[in-house]
Structure 1
Amino acid sequence: MRHYELDDADVAVIVGSGPGGASLALRLARAGLDVVMLESGRWIDPEDFVDDERIAFAQLSWLEARRATGGWTLAQDFPALPAWNGHAVGGTALLWTGLTPRFKDHEFRTRSSYGEIAGASLADWPIDPAELAPYYEESERAMGVSHRQGRPPMPANTSYRVFANGAERVGYRHYATGPYATNVEPYDGRPGTIQDGFNSQGDRHRSKWTPLVSEIPKAIATERFELRPESHAVRITLDAAGRADGVEYLDRDGVLRRQRAALVAVAGNAIETPRLLLLSATVGHEHGLGNASDHLGRHYMRHTTGVVYGQFPEEVHMYRGENMAGIVADESRHDPERGFAGGYYLETISQGLPSFTTFMEPGGWGADFTARVEGYPRTAASWICGEDLPQPGNRVTLSDELVDRWGLPAPEVHYDDHPNDVAMREHAYGRVEAMFRAVGAERVWRAPAMPSGHNLGTARMSADPANGVVDPEGRVHGVPNLFVSDGSVFTTGAAANPTLTIMALSLRQGDRIVDTRRRGEL
């Protein structure tokens, strides 16, 4: 792997190795730019992943200090874990389950489609959805998404058959085992899945797409890329002209270093990205980089979610096969006659016993709880993934009290449900209950949201600097060579799982950066 000196001033520095940062790094390196990637977590070889939920959680998860506040259930159930993020090379993609629906056109135009909704900060995206179509196609090819471009569908496991049969009986028509970013058959140097049920533990088998087994090795092969794991970014520095000229970071020994840069891209997810921009406050940017209009950290979204469980007379063994083995899309439309704006997907979800006992009734105990645990082999589950509305008060801020292990202010994540979110969740709970009962469930029950895996919107995209943090290319307003390359830039969240859209936006951003550099304008 290529090595760059700290005073090499013509490198692009990318903070974060998840889907956004890794896709951008490969794009830039293949175009001939020199790239240094700073990743806070360790490099973990897939051979060292552990097929045990408890051990894998500790091995792969971001467990630095954080605090959840607000009315959401996580503030009461898991106040120190508002989100479930990866903390290793490959980022949260090591944990993701792989569903890859695209945004629908109306989800790019929520202000125009939904109208004004009290309490919500809806805005139309400042890009044409048609611009993303070729990048969606390229992203699906890069990931090897099933059901797309001639690739076969994922075989159905038992959990999906329960799910699909229930969907059919309540009148749904748009259900399938994907699109899914795990190889059904060998593709792009990765094997086909063995459906071992452990893709949220990193996937030792390598059939699941992650940057660790795809974009990062390819970027290293260009010989224009250096990865520095265990390098925690703490501040972006600016020169006298107001341009980003470096990133300060703590190395694995806790030594503060500074990598000079020609441009900087931040891809730390929607919690760590605004945190870094806030920590980088300086003269002329006293409230953080990109925060002249007070939008940085605001409009945090994490999808309207919840889980419904059904226990059946016969064994289901939901933990066998792929974790998120199917999706129902019928409710993803915008239909205000249901009593809410936007839509949602219903998705299968499987949990190992540690996860099941933790989340199916947080804090539960007693005879009824024990009966549910005893019924685990006969249990199926569905996860709700719906569009929650952005609100300015839902935000990421720096704590005045809590610090991380480096002594830096920890992020506080405040979230309150909007009435639209509550109505959507209630509708979705009822539909899953009907699905499970339609195929013979003996009992069904609801569970609240788990720590957020889809964290979005805290550096929202806007054409006008007064309305957001980054421009339509993901460039931070007011800092011409500083970019954001993750789900923070989402103007609104849509109902779709976000990873495919994050990659598509990063590939588009990479092309814009390369073109601008060639014209001498960056």
Structure 2
Amino acid sequence: MTTQQHGNPIAQDEAVVVIVGSGAGGGTTAYELAQKGIKSVVLEAGPWLKPDDYENDEWAAFNQMAWLDKRTTSGGYRITKDFPNLPAWIVKAVGGSTTHWSGATPRFNEHEFKTRTYYGEVEGANLLDWPIELADLAPYYDRAEKAIGSTHRHGRPALPANNNYKVFANGAEKVGYRYYATGPYGTNAEPYDGRPASVQDGFNFQGDKSTAKWSTAVREVPRAVESGNCDLRTECQAVQVTHDAAGRANGVLYLDSDGNLHRQAASVVVVAGNSIETPRLLLMSATSLHPDGLANSSGQLGRNYMRHLTGSVYGRFDREVRMYRGETMAGIIADESRLDTSRGFVGGYYMETLSLGPAFLAAFVDPGLWGREFTEVMEAYANTAGMWIVGEDMPQETNRITLNTAVLDQWGLPVPDVHFDDHANDVAMRTHGYERADMLYEAVGASGTHHTPPYPATHNLGTCRMSARPEDGVLGAFGEAHDVPGLFVSDGSVMTTGAAANPTLTIVALAIRQAEHIAERLAKGDL
């Protein structure tokens, strides 16, 4: 086999839990099962980058880590024009996008699990209540926060405030916001769980060489491998989930780095490839029993793609801010995440501190911008403060992942097409966020602000949503496919709706809960 194996090798004909992907969901699942003595094979499409490998340079790190396989885009959102081959910036490496996530760890609000109930009928939106409630997930949120080491939680201290946060917090106070802090955040303020305290280097999006920031590449995956119960195979691209004559998932076909095809037998299959690659794999796994793709009797597989409402606002000041010093996103205002339909939209959003380096800011500040307006933004870099607006976008059936059979990847497989159009509610929320951010910066003396359109998405959600009824979604309350026994999904695609919060904490909490469920059923002989 031409691949990199880590841990005790498991025979390919031994039916174990096969996990596709090693990010927030897959890495957590492997670790949780390993601690219970349950064997797994983890198939990771990328390499295992170690902290010493990380490039602390924006473009070098991007080219080292990003999922750069071919993709296509369609729809009216600006990514189709500005970044047609990059609809989402995710990582192709062990740890997945936890290696470059910002670290923000807010929980979902109670009402965000019941959006159909609380928001009512929203024209053009495919809203649905989750099959679980906040109370179901609360104990797993506790466990996830302790695993990650979230600041402000369970006695963990807060990170210190950098200049970007000080501008942000002073503005928040002046406009009347009450709920703002430097966290919760997944980077240590002091040594914790074998990881050091932050050195405030600001390289969150490039991989944290110090390991102060949590990722499954630093914590869960190494511990799973060291347990002897996990066989991690890197540079292995999953291409099909197989099932037996009765329709139960029983294996995964995958390609090694040389394109050789292999099959790993499975007692349980857990797909954790993110909200683009997961539906792509299930669509490619169509059989005579499942002609429209595995787990797609509802017709919802690949649909309801969400990427979170995003946009940024940068304020320019007459004195230096140096926003790039310190943690990138260690600042959150939660006031606008409330349930309040009087603002002209349903759902809510967070405001979070953000700093991009000059290279990324030049690329993403406003693609196509040129001339004096562009140079004005760049020349003011040292005097600039920045924030990101992240909020709940509406699930729409027409926003979806499909197979583009006219474009093939390096393996000759159809690439995913990512189709997305903003909902009117998304536009209204983004406009409100821009206005409130302008008010905040103007309240502390900004000489001007600049609104940045949405970046290529990092919060990819939906496409395999959980539902109480099989006709409404792809998965049940524990992430098992309604149609295919033994097939689970453990990533952001399971989310019925997107909420306003950054999703990583919730993905980890759901994965811990799912792993516990799988272990209990394996012990009973139900799987």
Normalized against structure 1, the TM-score is what? Answer: 0.99
Match of 2:454 among 439, 449, 461: 449
The Cα offsets for residues 127-170 of structure 1, whole Å up to 9 and x where unpaired, read as: 12201111000000000100001010010000000111111111
Q: Which residue of 2 aligns with 1:5?
A: 11
Corresponding position: 1:406 with 2:411: yes
Q: Which residue of 2 aligns with 1:71?
A: 76
CA contact (8 A) 1:159 1:325 kept: no
How far the C-alpha of 1:69 sits from its partner, in A, is: 1.1
Q: Which residue of 2 aligns with 1:319?
A: 324
How far the C-alpha of 1:371 sits from its partner, in A, is: 2.1
**Secondary structure of the corresponding residue to residue 96 of structure 1:** coil
Q: Which residue of 1 aligns with 2:307?
A: 302
Which runs of structure 2 are paired with 1:243-282 in the superposition (5 Å)? 243-282=248-287
Match of 1:167 among 157, 168, 172: 172
Identity %: 57
**Secondary structure of the corresponding residue to residue 212 of structure 1:** coil
Unmatched 5+ stretches in structure 1 = none
Match of 1:52 among 54, 57, 71: 57
CA contact (8 A) 2:296 2:483 kept: no
The Cα offsets for residues 299-351 of structure 1, whole Å up to 9 and x where unpaired, read as: 00011111111111011111111110200000000111111101100011110
Corresponding position: 1:426 with 2:431: yes
Rounded to whole Å, the distance in 2 between the matches of 1:242 and 1:491 is: 25
Unmatched 5+ stretches in structure 2 = 1-6
Q: Which residue of 1 aligns with 2:120?
A: 115
Moved more, 65-74 or 202-211: 65-74
Q: CA RMSD in A?
A: 0.8
The Cα offsets for residues 349-386 of structure 1, whole Å up to 9 and x where unpaired, read as: 11011110011111222122112111111111111111
Q: Which residue of 2 aligns with 1:363?
A: 368
Match of 1:484 among 476, 486, 489: 489
Runs of 4+ in 1 over 2 A off after TM superposition: none
CA contact (8 A) 2:151 2:157 kept: yes
Give 2:325's aligned amino acid.
Answer: R
Corresponding position: 1:513 with 2:522: no
How far the C-alpha of 1:32 sits from its partner, in A, is: 1.6
**Secondary structure of the corresponding residue to residue 201 of structure 1:** coil
Q: Which residue of 2 aligns with 1:240?
A: 245
Rounded to whole Å, the distance in 1 between the matches of 2:374 and 2:427 is: 25
Corresponding position: 1:337 with 2:369: no
Moved more, 12-21 or 27-36: 27-36
Normalized against structure 2, the TM-score is what? Answer: 0.98
Rounded to whole Å, the distance in 2 between the matches of 1:107 and 1:46 is: 36
Which runs of structure 2 are paired with 1:278-293 in the superposition (5 Å)? 278-293=283-298
How far the C-alpha of 1:195 sits from its partner, in A, is: 0.5
CA contact (8 A) 2:171 2:441 kept: yes
Q: Which residue of 1 aligns with 2:3?
A: none
Rounded to whole Å, the distance in 2 between the matches of 1:138 and 1:18 is: 17
Q: Which residue of 2 aligns with 1:393?
A: 398
Rounded to whole Å, the distance in 2 between the matches of 1:403 and 1:174 is: 48
Rounded to whole Å, the distance in 1 between the matches of 2:80 and 2:437 is: 25
Match of 2:193 among 185, 188, 196: 188
Which runs of structure 2 are paired with 1:128-147 in the superposition (5 Å)? 128-147=133-152
**Secondary structure of the corresponding residue to residue 205 of structure 2:** helix
Rounded to whole Å, the distance in 2 between the matches of 1:278 and 1:368 is: 45
**Secondary structure of the corresponding residue to residue 421 of structure 1:** helix
Q: Which residue of 2 aligns with 1:435?
A: 440
Give 1:289's aligned amino acid.
Answer: L
The Cα offsets for residues 233-266 of structure 1, whole Å up to 9 and x where unpaired, read as: 0011111111111111111121111111111000
Rounded to whole Å, the distance in 2 between the matches of 1:243 and 1:441 is: 60
Give 1:178's aligned amino acid.
Answer: G
CA contact (8 A) 2:110 2:133 kept: no
Rounded to whole Å, the distance in 2 between the matches of 1:336 and 1:213 is: 41
CA contact (8 A) 1:82 1:413 kept: yes
Rounded to whole Å, the distance in 2 between the matches of 1:414 and 1:227 is: 33
Give 1:5's aligned amino acid.
Answer: A
Q: Which residue of 2 aligns with 1:95?
A: 100
Corresponding position: 1:220 with 2:192: no
The Cα offsets for residues 193-218 of structure 1, whole Å up to 9 and x where unpaired, read as: 00001111110110000001100111
CA contact (8 A) 1:140 1:500 kept: yes
